[in-house]
Structure formats: C-alpha cells, structure tokens
C-alpha cells in the first residue's frame, strides 16, 4: 500500500477514528520493534550445555563431531 493511498483513506475518517488508527499504528510499531530488538540480541542460554563431557573431549574434537552430525 502506498503512502498516498493511506493519506486518502485517512482523510475520509472522522477525527476520532484517525486518532484510533494512529494509536493502532503506534501499537504495531512498538510490538514489532521489540521483537526485532530481541531477535538481534545473541543469547547464551546454551552456555554450559556440554559441561558434563568437557573432561572427555577437547573443543576441537567437539567441533569435528558437530561437523560430522551436520
């Protein structure tokens, strides 16, 4: 949808409905901006997941095994 088309449709709305549309647009912007921000952050929730095998394998051996599994 083009900006011009949105403008034309907004002009057809009453002042109350325009405010409602703007509130909804603000809601959508904040909702999806938060998702985008969260998606960009790197998480370390996997950290320590293989700690029980660290005595048995070096990091290089673990990398080679991971490549085999792919």
pLDDT, tens digit, 9 for 90 and up, residues 6-26: 999 999 999 999 999 999 999
pLDDT of residue 34 exceeding 80, the answer is no
Q: Which of 27, 26, 23, 4 is nearest to 15 (CA)?
A: 23
> Is position 13 within any domain?
yes
Number of domains in the chain: 1
Helix (H) or strand (E) holding 24: helix 15-40
Query: What was the pLDDT predicted at 21?
Result: 95
> Is position 54 within any domain?
no
> Is position 15 within any domain?
yes
> Is position 36 within any domain?
yes
> Is position 49 within any domain?
no
> Which residues form the domain of 20?
1-43
Q: Give the predicted TM-score (pTM) of the model.
A: 0.47
């Amino acid at each position: 949808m083009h900006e011009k088309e949105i403008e034309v449709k907004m002009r057809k709305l009453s002042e109350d409905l325009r405010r409602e549309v703007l509130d909804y647009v603000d809601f959508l912007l904040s909702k999806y901006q938060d998702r985008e921000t969260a998606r960009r952050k790197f998480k370390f929730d996997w950290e320590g997941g293989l700690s029980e095998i660290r005595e048995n394998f070096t990091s290089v051996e673990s990398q080679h095994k991971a490549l085999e599994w792919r």
